[in-house]
Amino acid sequence: MILGVSGLNGAGKGEVVRYLEQRSFYPLSLSDVIREELRSQGLEETRERMIETGTALRAAEGPGALAERLSRTFEPDRNYVIDSVRHPAEVEVLRGHTDAFRLIWVTADDETRLARVRARGRGGDPTTLEELRRLEDRETRSDDPAAQQLLAVRDLADFTVENDADLATLHAGVQGVLEQSFFFERPSWDEYFIAIAQKVASRSNCVKRKVGAVIAIDRRIVSTGYNGTPRGTRNCNEGGCPRCNSFARSGSGLGECLCSHGEENAITQAAYHGVSVRGGTLFTTLCPCLICTKMIINSGIEEVAYNAHYSLADVSLALLREAGIKVRQVG
Tell me the catalytic residues.
263
Buried-state track 177-212, b at ≥16 Cβ within 10 A, e below 16: bbeebeeeeeeeebeebbbbbbebbeebbbbbbbbb
Rounded to whole angstroms, the Cα distance separating 307 from 328 reads: 9
Rounded to whole angstroms, the Cα distance separating 134 from 114 reads: 13
Q: Is the dihedral of CA 212, 213, 218, 221 positive or negative?
A: negative
How many of the other CB atoms lie within 10 Å of CB of 122? 9
Rounded to whole angstroms, the Cα distance separating 7 from 275 reads: 59
Residue 97's SS3 state is helix
Q: Which residues contact 298 (CB under 8 A, 6 or more apart)?
A: none
Please give the sequence-ordered ranges of beta strands (E in DSSP) within the chain, or none if there are none.
2-7, 25-29, 79-83, 101-107, 159-162, 212-217, 220-226, 281-286, 303-308, 326-329
Q: Which residues contact 256 (CB under 8 A, 6 or more apart)?
A: 242, 243
| CA-based nearest residue to 94, from 143, 29, 36 | 29
Cα atoms in the 13 Å half-sphere on the side-chain side of 60: 9
Q: DSSP secondary-structure letter at 140?
A: H
Residues 259 and 277: beta-carbon distance below 8 Å: no
How far CA 244 is from CA of 124, 208, 234, 253, 290, in Å, comes to: 64, 6, 13, 10, 19
Rounded to whole angstroms, the Cα distance separating 73 from 53 reads: 21
